[in-house]
Amino acid sequence: MLFPEYRGRRLRATDNFRRMIRETKLSRDDLILPLFAVEGKSVKKPINSMPGQFQLSIDHIVTMAKQAKDAGIPGIMLFGIPHKKDCLATQAYAHDGIVQKAVSAVKEQVPDLTVITDVCLCEYTDHGHCGMVMDDGTIDNDSTLDLLAKTALSHVQAGADMVAPSDMMDGRVAEIRGTLDDEGFSHVPIMSYAVKYASAFYGPFREAAESAPKFGNRKTYQMDPANALEAIREATMDIEEGADIIMVKPALSYLDIIYRVREEIDLPVAAYNVSGEYSIIKAAEMMGWVDGKAMIMETLLSIKRAGADIIMTYSAIDVARELNN
């Protein structure tokens, strides 16, 4: 029987051959670990819909930060759950807010670890939306921008190395960039959630961050999952406003979007392996249906293969340790 000159199996025959020609390689350097900070001490509250994840008081946040560094992960992303909420999200930009205190503690005890902060208002508002709510229930874009900039500035003043606005208000990157520059923080980069879809995959996160909207939904400011060309417009707009890194969120259901963004822009591209993507695998693993470790490694490899330079994932420490081995 005749075969083509090329036989693909020749270079699949041994583990060393496969390693030698592997086109995409996942690295510890690609990973960022998201963490949820809450008030109190010795608090480690399980998140029911995210097995293995917790709301953590600052002492535990520091412990996790040390574990991340020891595993070789370059950075963490901090989210905060405040002790009180109001219509103006005042705890988002308070100098003694939960994220501000967590940033200071981590930078004091793990100074070489990069600390990125999520900049949004949904965890801090009593209505759960990412912007200011008008009397008719609509989300007001422009009045939100100043509060987002104040929040970002307070994070940087506390020691954050990078800020990541996730609100999807038009013009927020420019507002934050201008504020940081005016206050002497022109060296601090912005990782923009530029391409953030209104996704069903965020459900577990909303339990973790206690940020579910009390009415309506976020479809008027987060993107329609049906749209791809719009992703390039959003990314381009944020680049023009001063973003240093462009994020696509979610990741697994939007690999085509990650690929398009990677092809169109020359800035680093981040992707968020979101809570629903994490929890689906964990739930199936707990039922004994799948090899969870192998599945998460394959998932992150697919995100990297699509073009992501940075991957936010709740599995970061486990994956880093697996890569170390």
- What is the residue-wise DSSP string for 141-171? HHHHHHHHHHHHHHHHHHT-SEEEE-S--TT
Q: Please report whether residue 16 resides in a domain.
A: no
The pLDDT of residue 217 is: 81
Residue 242 is given by DSSP the state T
Closest among 49, 171, 138 to 179, alpha carbons compared: 171
The pLDDT of residue 130 is: 86
Residue 203 has pLDDT above 70, yes or no: yes
Residue numbering of the annotated binding site for Mg(2+): 234
pLDDT > 70: percent of the chain? 99
Please pick, among 196, 282, 293, 304, the residue that the annotation labels catalytic. 196
Residue 108 contacts residue 102 (beta carbons within 8 Å): no
Average pLDDT for 127-141: 87
Average pLDDT for 159-167: 97
Q: Please report whether residue 10 resides in a domain.
A: no
Q: Please report whether residue 1 resides in a domain.
A: no
**CA distance readout (Å), 95 to 150, 157, 194:** 10, 9, 27
In the annotation, is 293 catalytic? no
Residue 4 has pLDDT above 80, yes or no: no
Residue numbering of the annotated binding site for 5-aminolevulinate: 206, 218, 275, 314
Average pLDDT for 136-157: 95
The pLDDT of residue 248 is: 98
Residue 1 has pLDDT above 70, yes or no: no
The span from the CA of 116 to the CA of 253, in Å, is: 24
The pLDDT of residue 96 is: 96
Q: Please report whether residue 3 resides in a domain.
A: no
Q: Please report whether residue 77 resides in a domain.
A: yes
How many domains does one find in the chain? Answer: 1
CATH number at residue 160: 3.20.20.70
Q: Please report whether residue 8 resides in a domain.
A: no
Q: Are strands 162-165 and 44-46 parallel, antiparallel or unpaired?
A: unpaired
Q: Please report whether residue 15 resides in a domain.
A: no
Residue 275 has pLDDT above 90, yes or no: yes
Residue 185 contacts residue 177 (beta carbons within 8 Å): no
Q: Please report whether residue 214 resides in a domain.
A: yes
The pLDDT of residue 3 is: 66
User: SS3 sequence, the chain?
Assistant: CCCCCCCHHHHHCCHHHHHHHCCCCCCHHHEEEEEEEECCCCCEEECCCCCCCEEECHHHHHHHHHHHHHHCCCEEEEEEECCCCECCCHHHCCCCCHHHHHHHHHHHHCCCCEEEEEECCCCCECCCCCCEECCCCCEEHHHHHHHHHHHHHHHHHHCCCEEEECCCCCCHHHHHHHHHHHCCCCCCCEEEEEEEECCHHHHHHHHHCCCCCCCCCCCCCCECCCCCHHHHHHHHHHHHHCCCEEEEECCHHHHHHHHHHHHHCCCCEEEEECHHHHHHHHHHHHCCCCCHHHHHHHHHHHHHHHCCCEEEECCHHHHHHHHHC
In the annotation, is 249 catalytic? yes
Q: Residue 13's CB: how many other CB atoms inside 10 A? A: 10
Residue range of the domain that includes 182: 25-324
Please pick, among 69, 150, 249, 282, the residue that the annotation labels catalytic. 249
Single pTM value for the model: 0.94
The pLDDT of residue 79 is: 97
Cα distance between the two ends of the chain: 42
Confidence class of residue 8 from pLDDT cuts 50, 70 and 90?
Answer: confident
Residue 28 has pLDDT above 90, yes or no: yes
